[in-house]
Structure 1
């Protein structure tokens, strides 16, 4: 057994342990998967354990970037992944009620075993991509190399951790690994079971915690907070509200739908602005460190320029989205004129 705290690409540099959050709330990519995860793995809406030990672990600061980008991955055992697959298939049944799902807690409390291997391989050369040679540093300072390219399944490094295997599976869904080219045993015991789960990851866009729009069915389910959905159906019908008080939805667009869509765009703009402000704060801290060393450095102008660039970038993103939306509406209107519908569309 090894530890991600002691892996390093350096032979003469002290190791600095750092906290690693597998799934971060700040990631735009995570937002695409989190509602799927909560539904198929039996969590309440909005209850993903971001700050729990189920989602955080100590790792060597030198390998943290490789874990974040998927160049270095770790995979649960085949038995755990088979259980995850069964839970996903059961919970993702279209007619399943929220309270009928198998629960996240059924996986127990850990610790769980994981196998470490590279996640990126060159298909032509069959060499590892974007990952330097790694060493494990023992408490007495000795270094043990890990030659992944020539490593068979039994020789791969392993560790145990309280991070949850379902969350590890989601991390691998975000950073989809390549096939391991060297060993059939690695394929059969690690890659194939993982990809069996990932291939069944839901593709639906509508939030399953809400009933589908334009239906008479009203699901009596209260997750303790407002449940929202920004899929096309809900945006058109203005149904991004809690199901506990949802009325029967109308068949056509209303002014409320336009307000919901505008609110969604404003929320996205606020998120872009938040990121811009965070980057400005980081730059300010770096530049203040320079000023501390060189007292005569003028940096206010640089900060202003950075701030202006960030604001412009956010504005341009929103402008492009508005232009794209206008183009699509114009094209849709033209197509509808060329091919008149015999029956009024429920989404028009």
Structure 2
């Protein structure tokens, strides 16, 4: 079995083991994904295990650069990728509180199995790109040429490691591999991996912080200051964008319609109260007109408007205002004698 510790591009150099940190502490690219990772895979804020064995492994010194650049990759099993997909979907779309998420630890313990393949392919030649010829060092020190070009799914090299599959998923999200020339390998390795990528969250606001300016509260404290550098928070004052979680809204979602429906629930109730007060006033004002305009007797449409608080609140109030203008115009015209008795007004 081929190992990342025994692969080398040189025949005349001894193999030197080196530690390979899958997600580097100094990676600027990783900084774009780390909060997403911590949220969707059930970690606490700022708790990514950079120095743990879950993120580090021993590899040959001479292939480490190919791993870092994505020319040589290792992919979790299809079962592990499906579990990663299910966890991402659950944590990203269902809970609204950090403590309701499925936890990183729930994924289980290693070691886990990985399949080694090149990450870049020449679309014309169907050969691995940028990866030099490799040799596998056997237990007796003999170097045996090794090529991926003629491998099918069953003959690809595999190894086990304590590195966590979820961390490997994030690593590939930062540097997405090419599709494999073999349809079988693509279906069993690349497609399950990219299935996770397609659902990777795109929100910018740090979900460990509720959105600013809200009536909703969240009692959540990880014992350290949580920051958010998204555009939305940067436009707020420092006291607002860095306020404690008990002063902020318990909703942080990339779905604007969901924020509109859930985040403004209290506003809807207040607008509904105002709407019902208006209805009462309108009925009183129109009592004199009702005797000669049959349709004014029944204010069911106004009642329905008041009940539609599952709709966007601003739309409800707009429709009520339009109806008020029509009714006032009707009353004004009647007082001037412009309408004959019993003529019904037409309300669209």
Q: Could you state the TM-score of these two structures normalised by the residue count of structure 1?
A: 0.69
Partner residue, 1:100: 100
Residue of structure 1 in register with 2:198 after alignment: 199
Deviations 1:74-108 (A, max 9, x none): 00000000000000000001652100000000111
Confirm or deny that 1:17 pairs with 2:21. no
For residue 114 of structure 1, what is the aligned residue in structure 2? 114
Question: Which 4+ stretches in 1 moved above 4 angstroms?
Answer: none
- Measured after TM superposition, the shift of residue 217 of structure 1 is 1.8
CA distance 1:95–1:164, shift in 2 (3 Å)? closer
* 8 A contact 2:121–2:129 mirrored in 1: yes
Alignment match, 2:46 = 46
> How far is 1:21 from its partner?
0.5
1:234 aligns with 2:233: yes
CA spacing shift, 1:94–1:233, aligned 2, 3 Å: farther
Q: Equivalents in 2 of 1:99, 1:119: separation in Å?
A: 36
Task: Check the 8 A contact 1:38/1:47 in 2, yes or no.
Answer: yes
Structure 2: state its 5+ residue gaps: 250-348
Aligned-residue offset at 1:4: 0.8
Quote the residue 1:216 is aligned against.
Answer: 215
Q: 1:137-177 CA distances to partner (integer Å, 9 max, x unpaired)?
A: 01211223222112101111100000000001111111110
Question: SS of 1:74's equivalent?
Answer: strand
Cα pair 1:121 1:127 within 8 Å, conserved: yes
Q: Secondary structure at the match of 2:86?
A: helix
Deviation of 1:6 (Å):
0.7
What is the root-mean-square deviation of aligned Cα atoms in Å? 1.6
Q: What is the alpha-carbon distance in structure 1 between the residues aligned to residue 223 and residue 183 of structure 2?
A: 48
Structure possessing the higher radius of gyration over alpha carbons: 2
The question of whether the paired residues in 1 share the 8 Å contact of 2:148 and 2:156 is answered with yes
Counterpart residue number, 1:171: 171
Q: How far apart are the structure 2 equivalents of 1:5 and 1:247?
A: 49
The answer on 1:8 being equivalent to 2:5 is: no
Partners of 1:18 and 1:61 within 8 A in 2: yes
- SS of the residue 2:19 aligns to: strand
CA distance, structure 2, for counterparts of residue 118 and residue 25 of structure 1? 24
* 1:246 equivalent in structure 2: 247
Find the counterpart in structure 1 of residue 259 from structure 2: none
Secondary structure at the aligned position of 1:139 is classed as coil
Distance 2:73 2:60 in 1: 14
Deviation at 1:245, TM superposition (A): 4.6
Which 5+ residue runs of structure 1 have no aligned equivalent?
249-348
Where 1:195 maps in the other structure, the secondary structure is helix
Q: Offset of 1:215 from its aligned partner? A: 2.6
Say whether the 8 Å CA contact 1:137–1:144 is kept in structure 2. yes
Identify if the C-alpha distance between structure 1 residues 242 and 149 changes in structure 2 by more than 3 Å, giving closer, same or farther.
farther
Q: Give yes or no for contact 2:35–2:206 (8 Å, CA) kept in 1.
A: yes
- Alignment partner, residue 34 of structure 2: 34
Instruction: Give the Cα–Cα distance (whole angstroms) in 2 for the partners of residues 94 and 218 of structure 1.
Output: 18
Whether the 8 Å contact between 1:218 and 1:243 is mirrored in structure 2 is: no
**What's 1:83 paired with?**
83
1:216 is displaced (CA, Å) by 2.1
Distance 1:89 1:245 in 2: 27
Q: Deviations over 1:91-131 (max 9, x none)?
A: 00165210000000011120000000000112222221111
Quick check: 1:152 aligned with 2:152?
A: yes
Aligned residue pair count: 248
2:18, 2:61 within 8 Å by CA — same for their partners in 1?
A: yes
SS class of match (2:197): helix
Change in 2 beyond 3 A, CA 1:247/1:132? closer
SS in 1 for 2:145: strand
8 Å contact from structure 2 (residues 216, 248) kept in 1? no
SS for the counterpart of 2:93 is coil
